[in-house]
A and B are shown apart, each in its own frame.
Chain A
Amino acid sequence: MVPLNWYLVLAAFIFSCGLYAALARRNAIAALMGIELMLNAVNINLVAFWRYGEFVERLEGQVFALFVIAVAAAEVAVGLALIISVYRSRRTVNLDELDLLQG
């Protein structure tokens, strides 16, 4: 069987990619994609920990991952709606140009 560490390293790598995208990309949609990557990295972690854990009969890790998927969907729905509402009034989703609020 593939050792647990491989999954954890993969998850950490994907999480870091997502975090980098979320912080460095200036396009709001690209930042949103980064956030999705981070959430999916967590799912790999949760399911791997569940599979290699002592209590395989307790489904907590799997259930948690399912909930994360559902919450991520809700988050994307709200996020895209907010992005559209900003785009309608400003004609841009570049985060550097959203500078009405600062100081």
Chain B
Amino acid sequence: MGDIGFGSLGGILPELIIVLGGLLILVLDIAQADRQDSGRGYLAVSVLFLIVGLTGVLLQIGMEPYIVLSTTAIDPFATYLKLVIYTGMILVAIGGGSYMNRHATGRGEFWALFLFVTAAMSFAVSATNLLLLYLSIEFLSITSYILAGFLRTNKRSAEAGLKYFLYGSVAAAVMLYGMSLLYGATGSLDLGEIAQGLAANAEMAAIIPAATLLTLVGLGFKASLAPFYQWAPDVYDGAPTPITAYLSTASKAVGFAVMARVFVVALGAYRVEWAPILAGLSVLTMTVGNVIALRQTSVKRMLAYSSVAQAGYILMGLTAVVSSQQADLTVLGMNGLNGLLLYLFAYLFTNIGAFLVVLAVEDETGSTELDAYSNLVQRAPGMAWAMFIFLLSLAGIPLTGGFVGKFYVFGAAVQHQYFWLAGVGLVNAAIAAYYYLNVVRTMFFASDGEAATGRMAAPVAIQSVVLLCVLATIWIGLYPPRLLEWANSASRQLLALML
């Protein structure tokens, strides 16, 4: 048991700052007499607090791993994912904030919840204890339900919120049942102690498959893996686009991070038995996502299914980790986990950028259908070219971030002798390229339809965030040594914890 006191709170300072920011906005909102307030002030305060939180996380890079309050690990793995989360939330806040301010009632509540959800994700990736894990995942989920249904007068948003709530609560309850079995088998809630407990009593091995499978349901739900993905397209489609942008990136990253930590730290000794199941889920997820994405007519819904498919590729990285018989994974250049981490980072910029373009078009034309994109290059050349880069990255074309991510997860699958998995992944990537390039065709070469009707004026905030996302996507595509170093050290540190 570590010491519990004010001194030990330094490690979770970024999260505390974010929570304080959320509370501050709640208080400001109560004091605010003007009900018609534009919400611009809240946006500024939120971005400020998020940037301070991000700075706090940046300062933790390179620190020796340690545990705060005996439940929260401050280690390279958590720090890397916090970078992903905070960066994503800042991009979403700047790019999508004014849209939410215009359409939402209760702007103060929105921004407070936005900061709280960031803190929840931040806690979830560093939790080393089932109790904190459950609490932070539920915190994240419950806040996300509200945010998905935040546009109360919009029927689609309300329906998305309710569907997310029902699917999510069932998944969380199933996961909790799995956790209670793990607790019963080992008498501990700490992930490390669970691993030791399982190693000590071999007769408990019978309970592992049930407990793991049940826990996997809840985490797979967060990461939108088939067969628990049904909520994802409906919620991504119906939720306000800025909310979709973070649900499909930061929130998904949390699902994978928690899954990786639980599988590596708590169930590391049994990992090889799980490889076929994870490989099957990975194949199922990418195939289902891609095949259904093929016949979508709405770009937002197409991106939603593509996001399910991307989850399948990301899971390949984790499959590679658990399938390895090798005792010391940390010596491998492509251990699978670093691929997963790189993929999440590249995917963050690409997907947030793509959803912001969808937002800009939605703002202008009121539609997310493919028709609204016809000849976009004449109305808004910048947006069209940016979307082109994002779609190339999603398809995994070289010189984009998506390629680096795919290269590392496919490479890890090959390195761990999972040739068939890599093969299925390649076929899927080819299918996916078809529907991504279909959007490109509509944007650049649509012959029919009315001629360009004036220029589309996207807000400066969206333009600048989209530009940033384009630059970051290309930057990651050029193999930045710094990012590789971060991902490598984060993955090595977590794999070293494997029993």
Q: Measuring CB to CB, which residues of chain A are less than 8 angstroms from any residue of chain B?
A: 8, 15, 18-19, 22-23, 28, 31-32, 34-35, 38-39, 41-42, 45-46, 48-49, 53-55, 58, 60-61, 63-64, 67-68, 71, 74-75, 78-79, 81-83, 85-86, 88-90, 95, 98, 100-103
A89 in complex: contacting residue of B153, B169, B234, CB < 8 Å: B153
B 165-207 binary contact with A (CB < 8 Å = 1; else 0): 1100110011011011101100111000000000000000000
Looking at the assembled complex, report how far the CB atom of A58 sits from the nearest CB atom of chain B, in whole angstroms. 8
Q: How many Å lie between the Cα of A103 and that of B295 in the bound state?
A: 9
Known: A23-B170, A42-B176. A82 touches B184 (CB 8 A): no
Q: How many Å lie between the Cα of A103 and that of B135 in the bound state?
A: 33
B142 touches A42 (CB 8 A): no
B159 touches A78 (CB 8 A): no
A61 touches B238 (CB 8 A): no
Is B330 part of the binding interface, using a Cβ–Cβ cutoff of 8 Å? no
Is B332 part of the binding interface, using a Cβ–Cβ cutoff of 8 Å? no
Given A39-B176, A82-B162, A100-B238, 19 additional A-B pairs, CB 8 A: A18-B173, A38-B170, A42-B173, A42-B176, A42-B179, A45-B181, A45-B184, A58-B187, A60-B131, A64-B134, A64-B180, A75-B138, A78-B145, A82-B161, A82-B165, A89-B153, A98-B162, A101-B234, A103-B233
Q: How many Å lie between the Cα of A89 and that of B155 in the bound state?
A: 7
Q: How many Å lie between the Cα of A23 and that of B174 in the bound state?
A: 12
Is B152 part of the binding interface, using a Cβ–Cβ cutoff of 8 Å? yes
Q: Specify which chain B residues have a CB less than 8 angstroms from the CB of A23 in the assembled complex.
A: 170
Q: How many Å lie between the Cα of A29 and that of B8 in the bound state?
A: 43
In the assembled complex, 16 residue pairs joining A and B whose CB atoms fall closer than 8 Å, in A order, are A22-B166, A22-B170, A39-B176, A42-B176, A46-B183, A55-B187, A58-B187, A60-B183, A63-B131, A64-B134, A68-B176, A78-B145, A79-B169, A82-B165, A98-B163, A101-B163
B159 in complex: contacting residue of A53, A55, A98, CB < 8 Å: A98
B169 touches A75 (CB 8 A): yes
Looking at the assembled complex, report how far the CB atom of A67 sits from the nearest CB atom of chain B, in whole angstroms. 6
A28 touches B166 (CB 8 A): yes
Q: How many Å lie between the Cα of A34 and that of B322 in the bound state?
A: 34
Q: Which 5 A-B pairs have the closest CB atoms?
A: A49-B184, A38-B173, A45-B180, A101-B234, A53-B187
Q: How many Å lie between the Cα of A32 and that of B184 in the bound state?
A: 27
Q: How many Å lie between the Cα of A82 and that of B419 in the bound state?
A: 46
Known: A39-B173, A39-B176, A89-B153. A78 touches B183 (CB 8 A): no
Q: Specify which chain A residues have a CB less than 8 angstroms from the CB of B173 in the assembled complex.
A: 18-19, 22, 35, 38-39, 42
Q: How many Å lie between the Cα of A8 and that of B175 in the bound state?
A: 16
Is B489 part of the binding interface, using a Cβ–Cβ cutoff of 8 Å? no
Q: How many Å lie between the Cα of A55 and that of B156 in the bound state?
A: 50
B166 touches A31 (CB 8 A): yes
B296 touches A103 (CB 8 A): yes
Q: Specify which chain B residues have a CB less than 8 angstroms from the CB of A49 in the assembled complex.
A: 180, 183-184, 187
B187 touches A41 (CB 8 A): no
